[in-house]
Amino acid sequence: MKNIDYEDQGQFCSGHVACPGCSEPVTIRVILNTIGDDAIGVVSPSCSAMISGGYPISSVKVPMFHTTLESAAASASGVKRALNARNKRDTTVFCFVGDGGTYDIGLQALSSAIERNEDILYFCFDNEGYMNTGGQKSSSTPLGAVTGSTPEGKFTQKKNMVEILAAHRTPYVATASPSHLNDLKAKVEKAKTIRGTKVIIVLIPCVPGWGLAEDGAVRTARKAVEAGVFPLFEIEHGERVRITAGRIDEDLRIDGYLKEQSRYRRLDAGRVAALQSEVDQQWRRLRSAATTADETSSIPCKTPTQAA
Amino acid sequence: MTTTVRERSRGVLLSGNHAVSNAVMLARPDVIPVYPITPQTPILERITELHAEGGITAELLTPESEHSAMAACTAASATGARVFTATSSQGLLLMHELLHFASGARTPIVMCNVNRTPAAPWGFWPDQIDSLAQRDTGWIQLYSESPQESLDSVIQLFAVAEAVKLPAMVSHDAFYVSHAMEPVDVPTQELVDAFLPPYRPEFSLDNAHSASYCAPTDQATWRRSRVDLDAAMAQVPGLIRSTGARWGELTGRHRDLLEGHHLEGAEVVLVTMGSMAGTVRHAVNAMRKEGLAVGMLKVRLFRPLPAAALREALAGVPCAIVLDRNYSPGTGGVLHQELKSVLFGTPVAPRLHGLLAGVGGVNVSSARIREWVAEFRSREARPDPVWVE
């Protein structure tokens, strides 16, 4: 096992309120230490808002603006523009948002921020449901998963957010996982060098919401990557696709990944086959995009800036 | 060296909306997030023109909805920017969640709302229920009668809002004010700079201080936030008076909490807000000529409700008739309700009548107002509203 290759500058403190065994704090620790001091965060109601800390304490060293569930991208735009007006253009403005705040209620604001190419770095901590409110389904919840609002298992597929973001020609879109922290760190570093909107979706297996063993979060995340359920890749300007980690064996099935989780307890053989088929199809599609992408093309994008 | 008011301004023929855009330019905001909606659009379009010409140097954001516009306003204001936006009707209603957020976050955003009927059914007509329905959101609210008053109010509200860290809106009626043109005295930039210095917030989101904003609290802290907000609200009437007086010294136009017209010895006082005040003034002048002791009380500051000033203005008046261009289902006219609560417990309260006049933007003529005075002046007061047309 490789050590995490980063220097902890103390940007994230212990004593936060994440559930035992949660992999989100280590993810946040890597992100914040990679972003550094010159940053302001916007966080919408989610696990990351609770982990960031309730008044009057904060586990995050940089200032955080707690906004409404649907408003992270719009609020971050406001922070960034105010910093521009104050000639503080180099400060990184980032968002911590859940999948509910990204795939569902915040999608409209995010879409608009990307269309304006706001210079923000947006993190979606994707635990595939409204886990902070006790575990209800979101449009990120996969087929067959039992949640507080899908007692028979969800009847429809997970929304393909990455393709939606790619269709916006977003300057930088990536997926990441707490099982591959060096990969996460490299993606945050790359995103920091890009002006415009950057979105990184991190899979966060939820110990209570997915029904995992307390030591199962990172193992489950790794299995998601290695079975091709949640491959790690990046897309620049909607065209250049690069896979950084994915299915390790083309014959590997998703059963090992599913067995870590009690949320799939209602899956019958037919639904397992449907899920496997969806994963196979998405993986083939991603592989094909990565191999046929035109490496030389790029769409010029400007960030909205004040007239000099 | 002293200069005359005339040298410190220039007369321009402007609609209410374009008067607001001019005021915005003079107030030098840092960030303007704004979304279009009829009949607010001329404000937005003129701002974008002035931005393209270089007159406005603010960061301009045109997001996908009023909700995101207000989210950006709140965050930009918390980051230390002077912020303006404008909306109307459905747009204001879509912002509702964030109107609460903006006051709780103590962000002194200034907004112009163009009063328009909310759907359903669809309509585009002057009616004040859109903004009156926001009375519990913690925003300072002014109602403007004319393009000139809208220009003055936008500039004045920046001074007041920033002093108490509360957001503020001025509303003017669709079309009657938003699109009607009149000669407007536009003050010089020097005059406005002297009245309104650059925004220097006491606190702002700043990585030098690493303080977070709006994080979850316990019950006692949440309650204290409202006690503090209440204390800030209590300062507003005094600040409207003092800044209005200072504006008066600079421009000759004193802007107060209320505006009286022929209140001396009045036996009947018509109470209203917004553009209807112009028609009421005309009717009052005509009745005074006939020897009838009738006056008008225009409510300019609606939130916080200037209770003491209203009681003082109506003390000893035998009869007050409220003309509400709005309707709150289940109770009646909003200004009527507010006056009932203000006057309750006063030793000699006027006989109060609440007329639902002009709801949905229907025309209210000077002649009809005179007929209503004749009809209601001697009647006993009733708690219920009366539909009139």
CB proximity A17 to B under 8 Å: no
B135 pLDDT above the threshold of 80: yes
- Residues from chain B that touch A119, judged by Cβ atoms under 8 A, are none
Nearest to A204 by CA among A259, A109, A125, A141: A125
In angstroms, the CA B45 to CA B42 distance is: 5
Phi-psi region of B175 (alpha: psi -120 to 50; beta: other; left: phi over 0): left
Q: Please answer whether residues A68 and B98 qualify as being in contact, where contact means their C-beta atoms are separated by less than 8 angstroms.
A: yes
Q: How far does the CA of residue B110 sit from the closest CA of chain A (Å)?
A: 15
pLDDT value of position A2: 57
Instruction: Please indicate whether, in this complex, the C-beta atoms of B71 and A75 are within 8 angstroms of each other.
Output: yes
Give me the count of residues in chain A. Answer: 308
What residue spans of A86-215 are helical by DSSP H? Answer: 107-115, 161-167, 181-192, 207-210
Among A8-17, A18-27, A197-206, B301-310, the minimum mean pLDDT is found in A8-17
- The reply to whether A200 touches chain B by the CB within 8 Å rule is no
Q: Does B55 touch chain A (CB under 8 A)?
A: no
Residue whose pair of structure tokens reads 């209770």 in the numeric block? B307
Neighbour-count burial of B387, counting CB atoms closer than 10 A to its CB (0-12 exposed, 13-18 middle, 19+ buried): exposed
* Cβ-contact A169, A301 below 8 angstroms: yes
C-alpha torsion sign, points A215, A221, A224, A225: negative
Q: Is the dihedral of CA B112, B118, B122, B127 positive or negative?
A: negative
**Alpha-carbon gap, residue B304 to B257, rounded angstroms:** 10
CB-CB under 8 Å, B97 with A108: no
Please tell me the distance from the alpha carbon of residue B286 to that of residue B275, in angstroms, as a whole number: 18
Facing A112 at nearest CB: one of B64, B74, B77: B64
Q: What angle do CA A153, A154, A160 make, to 5 degrees?
A: 145
pLDDT band at A299 (very low <50, low <70, confident <90, very high): very low
- Give one DSSP letter per residue of B279-348, joined into a string: HHHHHHHHHHHTT--EEEEEE-EEES--HHHHHHHHTT-SEEEEEES--BTTTB-HHHHHHHHHHTT-TT
Q: How far apart are CA A263 and CA A47, in angstroms?
A: 19
Identify the three-state secondary structure at position B177.
coil
- Tokens 């006063």 map to which residue? B346
Closest CA to B36 of B114, B96, B100: B114
Instruction: Check CB contact of B211 with chain A, cutoff 8 Å.
Output: yes
User: What pLDDT shows up at residue A67?
Assistant: 98
Tokens 């191999």 -> residue = A291
Which residues on chain B are in Cβ contact (under 8 Å) with A85?
Answer: 30-31, 58-59, 81
Nearest to B68 among A38, A63, A112 (CB): A112
Q: What pLDDT was estimated at residue A303?
A: 55
Q: What are the chain B neighbours of A76 within 8 Å (beta carbons)?
A: 75
- Measuring CA to CA, which residue among B120, B116, B108, B72 is closest to residue B91? B116
CA distance A57 to chain B (A): 9
Residues 204-233 of A with CB under 8 A from B: none
Q: What domains are defined for chain A?
A: 24-292 (3.40.50.970)
**Percent of chain B topping pLDDT 90:** 95
Asked if B33 is an interface residue toward chain A (Cβ–Cβ < 8 A), one would say: yes
DSSP summary character for residue B5: G
> Shortest CB distance from B97 goes to which of A68, A111, A307?
A68
User: Can you list the domains of chain B with their CATH numbers?
Assistant: 5-251 (3.40.50.970), 258-387 (3.40.50.920)
Digit-coded pLDDT (tens) for B306-321: 999 999 999 999 999 9
Chain A within 8 Å of B330 (Cβ-Cβ)? Answer: no
Nearest Cα residue in chain A from B218: A55
Q: Is A21 left (phi over 0), alpha (psi -120 to 50) or beta?
A: left
What whole-number percentage of chain B has pLDDT above 70? 98
Q: Residue B142 contacts by C-beta under 8 Å, 6 or more apart in sequence?
A: B153, B157, B168, B169, B170, B171, B300, B301, B302
Q: Residue A42: list chain B partners with CB under 8 A.
A: 75
Contact B31 A85 (CB under 8 A): yes
Q: Could you read off the pLDDT of A255-287 as tens digits, one per residue?
A: 999 999 999 998 999 999 999 999 999 999 999
Q: Which of A53-62, A112-121, A139-148, A223-232 has the lowest mean pLDDT?
A: A53-62
CB B87 within 8 A of CB B69: yes
SS3 category, A133: coil
pLDDT confidence bin for B10, thresholds 50/70/90: confident
ipTM of the complex: 0.95
Residue B74's pLDDT band, with cuts at 50, 70 and 90, is: very high
* A300 has pLDDT over 80: no
CA dihedral A57, A62, A68, A73 (to 10 degrees): -170
pLDDT of residue A163: 96
**Cα–Cα nearest to B79, from B208, B178, B174:** B208
**How close, in Å, is residue A251 to chain B by CA atoms?**
45
Summarize the confidence of residues A144-155 as an average pLDDT. Answer: 96
Average pLDDT over chain B, rounded to an integer:
96
Cβ separation A85–B30 shorter than 8 A: yes
| Residue located via tokens 């088929």 | A277
Q: What does the block give as tokens for B286?
A: 């005509």
Of residues A42, A53, A79, nearest to B215 (C-beta): A53
CB contact under 8 A, B63 and A91: no
Q: Report the distance separating Cα B328 and Cα B134, nearest Å.
A: 12
Task: Note the pTM of the prediction, 2 decimals.
Answer: 0.95
Tell me: pLDDT of B208 over 90: no
* Pairs of residues, one from chain A and one from chain B, whose beta carbons lie less than 8 Å apart: 162
CA distance A85 to chain B (A): 6
What gap in Å lies between CA B279 and CA B55, rounded to an integer? Answer: 35
pLDDT at B166: 98
Residue A1 pLDDT > 80: no
> With the C-alpha atoms ordered B347, B348, B353, B354, is the resulting torsion angle positive or negative?
negative
pLDDT of residue B9: 78
User: With bands split at pLDDT 50, 70 and 90, how would you rate the model's confidence at B265?
Assistant: very high
Cβ B65–A63 below 8 Å, yes or no? no
Q: Is the pLDDT of residue A178 over 60?
A: yes
Note whether B81 contacts A38, CB cutoff 8 Å. Answer: no
**For residue B239, which amino acid is it?**
L
Bridge partners of residue A123, in order along the sequence? A96, A200
pLDDT attached to residue B236: 98
pLDDT at A190 over 80: yes
Q: What is the mean predicted confidence (pLDDT) over A148-160?
A: 96
Radius of gyration from C-alpha coordinates of chain B: 21
pLDDT digits (tens, 9 = 90+) for A19-41: 999 999 999 999 999 999 999 99
Do B327 and B358 contact (CB within 8 A), yes or no? no
Residue with tokens 């620790």: A29
Of B31, B205, B209, the CB nearest to A65: B205
| pLDDT for the residue numbered A3 | 65
State pLDDT tens for residues A66-110.
Answer: 999 999 999 999 999 999 999 999 999 999 999 999 999 999 999
Does A78 contact B211 at a Cβ distance shorter than 8 Å? no
User: Considering only alpha carbons, which residue of chain B is nearest residue A308?
Assistant: B57
Three-class DSSP labels, B133-159 = CCCCCCCEEEEECCHHHHHHHHHHHHH
**Interface-testing mutation among B30, B50, B64, with chain A (most A C-beta atoms within 10 A):** B64
CB contact (8 A) between residue B71 and residue A78:
yes
Cα B366 to the center of its chain, rounded Å: 23
What is the pLDDT at residue B65? 98
Q: Considering CB atoms only, which of B54, B67, B217 is closest to A70?
A: B67
Q: Please return the burial class of A86, using the count of CB atoms within 10 Å of its CB with bins 0-12, 13-18 and 19+.
A: middle
Check CB contact under 8 Å for B67 and A306: no
**Cβ of B33 and A78 within 8 Å?**
yes
Contact B214 A67 (CB under 8 A): yes
